Structure 1
């Protein structure tokens, strides 16, 4: 069903030129259970910085003046965090240009589609806007995307969306744990003609290999060739969850209540209703970085990319982003050889091997004889003598006992890993959990103090891809 006409829509879109963004802070998935039973994914630390900070600072650095943060699950925590945070100024402007951030709360929304319908009902978006999720890490310059989108809109108002997609090899895409995408493009205009998530790709991150919406083979409509000499069939593009949209996108969500997901429902729905005239385009990036933390595998991959400096300037030692639990104060990281980052007030370890790709937060202590590689350590963490931490993520105020071993583990704030304990690859230890001395948590174990709901028993679709514990470089 097409979008209904609304009186004065064009006048409303032209009434203001403020660049706005809609940020979906809720992922509407269960991929980070049991951690997200207690804290929203957007506030979980990624290399010691809340994920949402990467997205907000990137938007501000690209001249976005208004950001509407939509939150559903744990909305009170997100609102409190944003209320207490400092302003988000454009990078390099000395704080003179600040982005206004407004929370839009609806605790009963269950999908991105419902969220965007509510945004439309509130009538807060008057012109073209940036649509992004709250876990995007990017250094992409938006100006060329906005300019190309505006030029297409000036020629035809039915050019309603420009999706930012990044070129990636099959191996790079697999690191993110997402299904492989097949996209058909007009090579001259980059108009998107077909978008399919392929079955069995991405390590089954969304169950597509088990009979999902994807397909092992794809039929190309012969009509694609009637208006153009050729069609690009691409499987090397990864959706970054960044798009520039016209207000018509919100209208289409309001008029089609079966649209729940942006990619699977909206994009495929618009492409299948070509007779309505709405067109989608792709802006391809290759030298810049853009990725979304959508599951534990992508959390691991993007953390390593940040440590390896692919996300510059959003890397630890530029100290642009406030650390988790820092009260809005800037971090104090210093860079050392091998992509090792230590904050101030971290005592110089003796007899330790900080191998490579390691970040250690302020006021953390590391005992003698430890081995730490490809891991992040939060603030106020105490690590005992002889501990081994490889490919793991240890958040603030964690205690790791003497001789403990963490390989490919995810350990939340306030947890305790006792002396001699072992966390095998894929383990998740949630907030405040105590793992006893010499205890061994098996592969992909998940420990929490919260009584789990039925949702906790959802398939662990991304567990296989997280927690390899490898010390190999991802460059």
Structure 2
């Protein structure tokens, strides 16, 4: 039963327990994903409810008497959620929504809040998306902060952490963007040194250890709850210091000026209890599965649903006629279905159709009006409302939103599938992929890990997608035929180009990459507009304004982590960069880029490459491998940075005609068997690594190299025979997604053999 809390009682201002939620991660990569979903991260669904619901329920149970929501972008959607979920109607004096659409950092939000002049007492601050999943009551933190102030009147903030019981790098709740080093007094818990930099060594002044009655302890990578108890002075300091953009900068600034201003900061470490701040995609998925496994009890689906029944009446009309909701989001806001909790942590919401031959293993949520056909295997996954899962499909550690349709014999692992997505038959989606709204994945497509697929460059209206393809969910029978859909008119008339261009009524051009999503698919990979150091660069020269250097530094500091929470500087083969992090490889890349841009003569480039070899002390084989990978991967990087320009093969051909074939001829002598085999093996590895992007062009690549005397037919045939021998002896197993590559390779070799016999 829900505890009765009289939170509408008038309180004295100094007694009011206030919590401020900053509903934005201020991560450009997450916000760019959000722009293709039109739903901010704080409203993403977790087991049938918006993420923010869980945080507000926790605050209610913690007897918090005032919640202030600071909304930046998508404030209309957040306002719609609040009003239509009946929070404001039930607690009219409980929640305040303050939009700050111009805010670009946490510091901007708190400076604007200071101008409102509505807080003159201690308050909880939830930052980093403003969504915290916890099993603990948070009102006790006010007592902790008050005790710190009683001992030290200069205390203005208490940071909250959770102790990790295992190695932090291996702990599933830890992501790179939570790295923090804290040196504090073991007795009073006052913080003396604070750093969020990822360093092997931290320098600590010996003067700290000379202070009397102080025993220092180190908190290395505790779980950052993105939670702090603040005094009103915190807002004043943000107002006076415009350099403070983040909490990290604020804490470091206060500690640096401690001797001058006298302000101090303390910390509080929870030894037990469940805490998870959801501010990136990995933590969003972990929070979903933790709730399914009931680690966050009492924050579990059936209890949240029962609370709704006690707190609210079910609403079927909008509170405000000026606020319109997307059909796929209505269930988040104002429709509550009963949830049945079954053994093995199986949750069934409302009416579902479950085939008796399906296998629902454990930790699974199935939303209202969803259909699970025969042979389906589900484990640790969340299925939204009005979804159809085709026969013999496996879904593991994945989240499906509403109105998702998946064909037969598909495999989906560790991925997020948003509203109104169609996945056709025999599709495989690897871990940490995300399909945004209205994407269609074609038959027999294999998506490699950590790919984000969008339906257009802009937020796409329902009408445009309806024109392309739409499957009505009204009166759906359990027959699998409903999963199979005919191609749209646009597809049937498509050309052989790898990209489809579709004009909408408002003259917006939508681009689809058929190399990636299939000829019967619709979508393309999301390439972030904001490029961080280490990510792909365009071949074209750009004019850099030196006056913007400081702004760029601030952006890089705010966005040093990608949407999954990985540190960008040490990513390997992720996102838009496809080039190795090896120093020599990078130097070869830079040399070739400069050659392409400035139209340098091939002989000059060869001389430069030869000079690099002794400088980096690489072996001859490593030297040649780096050159081959640079030549064949650079066009792919250019295509990723400019997806609306030429496809990979056309880009590669341009670079080959210009410089690359001369470089290959110099190092891969056509009479040298070892060099020729190395060239073929490296091309083979690259094609298998990027089958959909490069591997499908293997016939074009070999034909070009053969026609231009870069490689001889005898080496191609010998290399191919060796591969076939390995396949025959089961030394080489062809995967399902590799069949298209080997088919095209076989076609080229058969043509080559026939051409040789004709001669």
**2:161 corresponds to which residue?**
165
1:42-86 deviations in Å (ceiling 9; x for gaps): 111123321111111111211111111111111111112112122
Which of 204, 212, 217 in structure 2 is aligned with 1:232? 217
Structure 2 gaps of 5+ residues are 1-11, 309-328, 459-526, 536-560, 572-759
Question: Do residues 446 (structure 1) and 437 (structure 2) align?
Answer: no
Check 1:464–1:113 CA distance in 2 against 1; reply closer, same or farther (3 A cut): closer
**2:233 corresponds to which residue?**
248
Check 1:127–1:253 CA distance in 2 against 1; reply closer, same or farther (3 A cut): same
**2:194 corresponds to which residue?**
195
**1:378 corresponds to which residue?**
384
Question: Do residues 269 (structure 1) and 343 (structure 2) align?
Answer: no
Measured in 2, the distance between the counterparts of 1:181 and 1:464 equals 14
**1:181 corresponds to which residue?**
180
**1:353 corresponds to which residue?**
359
Check 1:229–1:35 CA distance in 2 against 1; reply closer, same or farther (3 A cut): closer
Aligned to 1:419, the other structure's residue is in SS state coil
Query: Normalising by the residue count of structure 1, what TM-score does the alignment of the two structures yield?
Result: 0.85
Structure 1 gaps of 5+ residues are 1-13, 90-94, 200-214, 467-475
Question: Do residues 147 (structure 1) and 147 (structure 2) align?
Answer: no
1:393 to partner: Cα distance: 0.8
Q: How does 1:267-306 map to 2 (within 5 A)?
A: 267-275=251-259, 276-306=261-291
Measured in 1, the distance between the counterparts of 2:125 and 2:420 equals 34
1:359 to partner: Cα distance: 1.0
Of the structure 1 ranges 186-195 and 345-354, higher mean CA displacement relative to structure 2 is found in: 345-354
Does the 8 A contact of 2:29 with 2:563 survive in 1?
yes
Measured in 1, the distance between the counterparts of 2:369 and 2:344 equals 21
Check 1:44–1:221 CA distance in 2 against 1; reply closer, same or farther (3 A cut): same
**1:455 corresponds to which residue?**
529
Count of residues in correspondence between the two structures: 431
More helix by share: 2
1:13-49 deviations in Å (ceiling 9; x for gaps): x853221111101111134355311221111112332
Aligned to 2:267, the other structure's residue is in SS state strand
Q: How does 1:330-369 map to 2 (within 5 A)?
A: 330-369=336-375
1:457 to partner: Cα distance: 5.4
Which of 434, 438, 442 in structure 2 is aligned with 1:432? 438
1:98 to partner: Cα distance: 7.4
Does the 8 A contact of 1:22 with 1:130 survive in 2?
yes
1:297 to partner: Cα distance: 1.6
Does the 8 A contact of 2:173 with 2:283 survive in 1?
no
Does the 8 A contact of 1:165 with 1:237 survive in 2?
yes
Measured in 2, the distance between the counterparts of 1:255 and 1:341 equals 50
Does the 8 A contact of 2:177 with 2:565 survive in 1?
no
Query: Normalising by the residue count of structure 2, what TM-score does the alignment of the two structures yield?
Result: 0.54
CA RMSD of aligned residues (A): 2.5
Higher CA-based Rg? 2
Check 1:189–1:324 CA distance in 2 against 1; reply closer, same or farther (3 A cut): farther
1:198 to partner: Cα distance: 4.2
Measured in 1, the distance between the counterparts of 2:423 and 2:221 equals 41
Check 1:329–1:150 CA distance in 2 against 1; reply closer, same or farther (3 A cut): farther
Name the structure, 1 or 2, with higher relative contact order (CA <8 Å, separation 6+).
Answer: 1
Measured in 2, the distance between the counterparts of 1:439 and 1:373 equals 22
The structure 1 segments of at least 4 consecutive aligned residues displaced by more than 6 Å after TM superposition are 321-324
**1:206 corresponds to which residue?**
none
Measured in 2, the distance between the counterparts of 1:31 and 1:157 equals 40
Check 1:70–1:411 CA distance in 2 against 1; reply closer, same or farther (3 A cut): same
**1:315 corresponds to which residue?**
300
Q: How does 1:122-133 map to 2 (within 5 A)?
A: 122-133=116-127
Measured in 1, the distance between the counterparts of 2:394 and 2:49 equals 23
1:454 to partner: Cα distance: 5.3
1:395-425 deviations in Å (ceiling 9; x for gaps): 0111111222211211101111112222222
More strand by share: 1
Check 1:318–1:88 CA distance in 2 against 1; reply closer, same or farther (3 A cut): farther
Does the 8 A contact of 2:45 with 2:332 survive in 1?
no
Measured in 1, the distance between the counterparts of 2:107 and 2:138 equals 24
